[in-house]
Amino acid sequence: MKVGTFLPPPDARVSGSEPQGTYNPGELRGIIRVNQDKCVGCDTCRENCPADAMMGEIGVAHKIDLDKCIACGQCLINCPFGAIEQMSFVDEVMGKLNDPKVVVVGIPAPAVRVAIAEEFGAPPGTLTVKKLHSAMKKAGFKVYENNLAADQTILEEGGEIVGKIRYWVLGERSKELEEFGKHPFPHFTSCCPAWVRYAEINYAALLPHISGARSPMLMAGPSAKTWAALNIWKVDPVKVYTVGIMPCTAKIFEASRPEFHAAWKFLREKKIIPDNTPKFPDIDAVLTTRDLAEVFRRKGINPLEMPEEAEEKITEMYTGGATIFGNSGGVMEAALRYAYQVVSGKNPPSWDIYAVRGYTKYGVKEATITLPLKDGKTITVRTATVNGIKNHLDKVVKDVLSGQSPYDIIEVMNCPGGCINGGGQPVQPMGTSWIDPLLPLRLKV
């Protein structure tokens, strides 16, 4: 089903120096909107909105409360009438791709590779990796794999968990561990921007529990504009234009957040660019999977016809440990692998931690993991993987805030099943998520 898109209106980005509602200066508002001419008020959007942001009576065209909206796009991919639209940066990216003075870097997320083929007639879930890279290069992108940046996320978030274990569980005290004393268990993951915004709006007291690690996209952006620009591509960092290619509409919002300009700050501090260089973001634009398909169509490129084998550049290499991030439980599993290795000093008996993986219609998947320590003792880590905010998250959070939570580590992905079911993924003709045609009903169980 064709999904409607619209160009960012002039007033989309919050201006001035003061917040507007729940948005900070510079952030984008209205990334998702309801087309009033198409909406019949069927209320399917409300049934799938995790943030209670849909307004309108049944039978009357609905609207979105932007101050509640977390830009996740679950209303969009579940609308049976195609009445919900997404802000698109395709035209802007096309202009950059056609400008020889600009170095356009595409950052493809792992969930995109199992969805882009669907836009070109292949069955859902068809895996494309090298074909996708080849198509992106033909379109004019340099490729910086999001998987490479997600490897960094494993190190950062896994390191946080180990630090918290040392401080809170083992009782170690040192200057290097002081910061972890401010961030108690349970530890929440931070990769999902819709979840982070939901927490900021509804549960500000929870923020000390959420990982301080950037999402992989926001690690890739500054790395591409510093390390890769200077050492790999050997180009002027100011000419680098980074494009997150994501399964997620909330990533459009995340990229607009004003705190993410680490590359600009680093390059000025190192005197690589002049002090008067205007501030630029780590991620310049975000394309959804659907948007990338549109870029390919405009360029006359079918990724399914591209070669599977291609020379692999250093910015396209990764361990593979982060590929699972696109599925629910993936961030949890990757972090636990790291924690096991560090606290025990040896590899786990199996790198597959099946207990934390996967989608469950009951919303929260629980597991108990035993981690051996170097002194022969063991510790027990209790985990919860939250499969979609809708109907499942609030009780988990309220238990944490009341001190009654049974968990030590909690992964939250706004979209049921994880990023593979994100708001930027291909939409089926009936408007329901391809991961499970009855998903909206089953979430009520």
The average pLDDT across 208-228 equals: 97
Res 371: pLDDT = 94
287 near 295, Cβ under 8 Å? Answer: yes
Q: What is the mean pLDDT of the chain?
A: 92
- The pLDDT confidence band at residue 337, using thresholds 50, 70 and 90, is very high
Question: What is the per-residue pLDDT across 1-27, written as a single tens digit (0 to 9) for each?
Answer: 578 999 999 999 999 999 999 999 999
Is the pLDDT score of 431 beyond 50?
A: no
Res 443: pLDDT = 37
What are the structural domains of the chain?
A: 1-87 (3.30.70.20), 90-148+216-316 (3.40.50.1780), 153-213+321-421 (3.40.950.10)
Question: What is the per-residue pLDDT across 57-83, written as a single tens digit (0 to 9) for each?
Answer: 999 999 999 999 999 999 999 999 999
406 CB neighbour count, 10 Å cutoff: 12
126 near 293, Cβ under 8 Å? Answer: no
Tell me the CB-side half-sphere exposure of residue 425, using CA atoms within 13 A: 32
* In the chain, % of residues over pLDDT 90: 83
307 near 134, Cβ under 8 Å? Answer: yes
- The pLDDT confidence band at residue 307, using thresholds 50, 70 and 90, is confident
Is the pLDDT score of 194 beyond 60?
A: yes
- Ranges of H-type helices in 257-386: 262-269, 289-299, 330-344
**What is the C-alpha separation between 324 and 326, in angstroms, rounded?**
5
- The pLDDT confidence band at residue 125, using thresholds 50, 70 and 90, is confident
Instruction: Taking each helix axis as running N to C, give the angle between helix 216-223 and helix 262-269, from 0 to 180 degrees, rounded to the nearest 10.
Output: 30
pTM of the model: 0.93
List active site positions: 157, 160, 191, 211, 251, 254, 259, 419
> Secondary structure of 22-88 in the HEC alphabet?
CECCCCECCCEEECCCCCCCCCHHHHHCCCCCEECCCCCCCEECCCCCCCCCHHHHHCCCCCEEEEC
**What is the C-alpha separation between 53 and 65, in angstroms, rounded?**
5
Name the residue among 178, 186, 136, 244 with its Cα closest to residue 399: 186
Q: Which of 300-304, 306-310, 372-376, 441-445 is predicted least confidently? A: 441-445
Give the residue carrying structure tokens 């108690």.
184
Q: Left (φ > 0), alpha (ψ -120 to 50) or beta: where does 416 sit? A: beta
Question: What is the per-residue pLDDT across 235-262, written as a single tens digit (0 to 9) for each?
Answer: 999 999 999 999 999 999 999 999 999 9
The average pLDDT across 34-42 equals: 96
User: How does DSSP classify residue 125?
Assistant: T
443 near 361, Cβ under 8 Å? Answer: yes
